[in-house]
Amino acid sequence: MFAPIVIVPMLIGAFASLALGSRGSTKYVALAASIVSFALALSMLGTQQQAQDVNWFAFAGNAFVLNFSLAPIHMLLLLIVAGVTPLVLGYSIGFMRLPSEHGRYYFEMLLFASSMALFAISGGFLTMFIGWELLGVTSYLLIGFWYGKEAAPTAARKAITTILIGDLAMFGAMLLLWTAYHSFSFAVIQGVQHSAAATVALSLILVAAFTKSAQFPFNEWLPDAMEGPTPVSAFLHSSTMVKAGVFMIAILLPIYAGYGMLLPILAIGIVSTVIGATNALVSTHIKRALAYSTIEDLGLMFIALGLNALGAAIMLFIMQTFYKALLFMNAGAIIKSNNTEEMWRSYESASHRPLFIASVIGVLSLAGVFPLSGFFGKQAVEGASVSAPLVYAILVIVQLLTGLYIFRWLLIPARRAPDNIAPKVRGGYRAVSIAMKIPIYVLAAIAVAASALYLLAPAYLGISAPQINVADAAVAFALTLAALVASYYVYASRSAIKAAQALRRYRSLSVPLYNSIFINRAYLAIAAAFGAIAYVVDRFDYWAYSRVRVVSSSLIEMGRATSRIESGNVTTYAAIFVGGITALIIIFGLL
């Protein structure tokens, strides 16, 4: 089967949504298109022809080929993207209530999903770069979707500016690889000998991966991306754009191992994990706390890749998809019910038990509690780090911090609402439609059932299953239990007012934990430095221009004065000639 066919229904649905505009059928057309694409992706499972090439164009004797791959690791990402898309669009039917926004919203969402599907089946850098760029453009549109809010377009510009750094790095790497090997195919590049060009190209690809996957020092665009609609956040943070960098490095991991370039991957992963965990611990914005936890999850995946543990990275890659989408959708339900994104002003009723239980499943899965899927993903990474004691110690601390902030995320909204709170809030999920609830229920069930993939996925991918040590699991369970007790004591055993007052006393402690302040200030300092350099260059340019302008003006005036001599009068010419001869005679006579 021709690989890109899976994208066709989503593209058709995207342009159909744009044409239908605010009509009520728009959302259902988009949902149907995503379901068809998922069915096509399922039909490709187990296909025998895993590599497909399409001649695109030739120039100056060079043939440019679009490479597609349906190898197991590519099929895995394709199925994840195609499977999550209908759930997100179904959730959007209940979340996006304003009909006038439907045409643009579903067009952008389906185009975003199509871009990620193209990225998933890319068998070479040229094909991947097309999907890579489309992801950047569509994410810019979706993050800034509510452009009436001042913060939304600002966040979109910040995202696209940061990602553009990676785009340029990626393009530079492609030029180097083409110059060295005259091919963009992953299969060809993996089989060539070491070269200096490849080393530089691999370094640039790392920069591209870190920008796309929001790793230090490019991590701050991701929390700001929470200005977009919640379904966009659920989609972007679970199975699409932020995973692109991880996926690209996973494909190229044998090359990085062969070149001895795993240490930078490991180091950036550790820093990003710590930054994500500490920021999530003190952030009081419902969605931003989850965004920081996504940075942490992605950092853990890079740690596994840096340890050359592909199985552990892929295991967390799969498991994180479901529990993170579940948590974001639950966050959207809480925000809808309370009409606020501030954690301390939110209340979540346990009276609607299915949704409350789904929220608990997502929290426990992120905390890594057995036997939920998150346990197998987190423990796979910790198990891979046992041979590196320092890394393991850092991961143990992060495990404790993760429990603290995610149980807080659950316990604060779950406290009892005061009597003076509006009935809509006290009712918890009363404002949440059935269209939003069904995808949450489905994701909760998948978050539980996905544990079976610990046994199935490695065999399908042809890699060794990551080992989970009982002693490590016991340590993780003890840390999670301690985090639960501490969170309950601070956030649930007191009233909200007393807890808030207690936290204000330790506000000075939260400043170093919320290190996004320093990172953003570093961004501003770098921007100011470039601004100063630009100012100096501008002043020099103006100085040079003014001097050149004076000289040119003088020459122009001389030309104009000389042009007056050309009068066409022969008598004048003769007089000038005689005067010149006389002047020469006098000069030579004096000499």
- Quick check: 414 pLDDT over 80? no
pLDDT in tens, 423-460: 454 444 556 788 899 999 999 999 999 888 888 888 88
pLDDT in tens, 365-407: 999 888 888 899 999 998 888 889 999 999 999 999 999 889 8
pLDDT of residue 426: 47
- 158: tokens are 């910040």
pLDDT in tens, 93-104: 988 888 888 889
pLDDT of residue 427: 47
When pLDDT is averaged across residues 555-581 and rounded to a whole number, the result is 76
Query: Quick one: pLDDT band at residue 468, thresholds 50, 70, 90?
Result: confident
Write out the DSSP string of 13-43: HHHHHHHHTT-TTHHHHHHHHHHHHHHHHHH
Q: How far is CA 339 from each of CA 45, 358, 536, rounded to the nearest angstrom?
A: 43, 21, 49
pLDDT of residue 572: 74
Cis peptide before 72 (omega within 30 of 0): no
Please report how many Cα atoms fall inside a 13 Å half-sphere around the Cα of residue 252, on the Cβ side.
32
Q: How far is CA 481 from each of CA 278, 401, 486, rounded to the nearest angstrom?
A: 19, 12, 9
Which of 447, 371, 476, 364 shows the shortest CA–CA distance to 409?
364
Query: Quick one: pLDDT band at residue 510, thresholds 50, 70, 90?
Result: low
3-state secondary structure 55-107: EEEEECCEEEEEEEECCHHHHHHHHHHHHHHHHHHHHHHHHCCCHHHHHHHHH
pLDDT of residue 172: 95
Q: How many CB atoms lie within 10 A of CB 22?
A: 12
Q: Is 279 in contact with 226 (CB distance < 8 Å)?
A: no
Report how far residue 13's alpha carbon sits from residue 10's, in angstroms, rounded to the nearest whole number: 5
- Percentage of the chain modeled with pLDDT above 90: 42
- 14: tokens are 């995207």
pLDDT of residue 492: 72
pLDDT in tens, 542-557: 888 888 888 888 888 7
pLDDT of residue 410: 84
Would you give the distance in Å from CA 189 to the centre of its chain? 26
Would you give the distance in Å from CA 199 to the centre of its chain? 25
- Quick check: 508 pLDDT over 70? no
pLDDT of residue 423: 45
Local structure of 52: helix, strand or coil: strand
Which of 352, 361, 362 shows the shortest CA–CA distance to 328?
362
- Quick check: 185 pLDDT over 60? yes
Would you give the distance in Å from CA 67 to the centre of its chain? 24
User: Which of 16-25, 36-45, 274-283, 423-432 shows the lowest per-residue confidence on average (mean pLDDT)?
Assistant: 423-432
Beta-bridge partners for 124? 185
- Quick check: 415 pLDDT over 60? yes
User: Which of 29-43, 297-311, 530-544, 561-575 shows the lowest per-residue confidence on average (mean pLDDT)?
Assistant: 561-575
Report how far residue 366's alpha carbon sits from residue 300's, in angstroms, rounded to the nearest whole number: 12
Report how far residue 517's alpha carbon sits from residue 525's, in angstroms, rounded to the nearest whole number: 12
Q: What is the mean pLDDT of the chain?
A: 85
- Quick check: 29 pLDDT over 80? yes
pLDDT in tens, 312-369: 999 999 999 999 999 999 988 888 887 788 887 777 654 467 888 888 999 999 998 8
When pLDDT is averaged across residues 477-487 and rounded to a whole number, the result is 87
Would you give the distance in Å from CA 287 to the centre of its chain? 15
Residues 6 or more apart whose Cβ sits within 8 Å of residue 140? 156, 157, 159, 160
- 185: tokens are 């195919």
pLDDT of residue 470: 82
- 125: tokens are 């850098």
pLDDT of residue 553: 83
Which of 444, 443, 434, 440 shows the shortest CA–CA distance to 94?
434
Per DSSP, 50 falls in state: -
pLDDT in tens, 133-166: 999 999 999 999 998 888 899 999 999 999 999 9
pLDDT in tens, 266-277: 999 999 999 999
pLDDT in tens, 197-253: 889 999 999 999 999 999 999 988 999 999 989 999 999 888 788 999 999 999 999
pLDDT of residue 352: 67
pLDDT of residue 203: 94
Choose between 124 and 418: higher pLDDT: 124
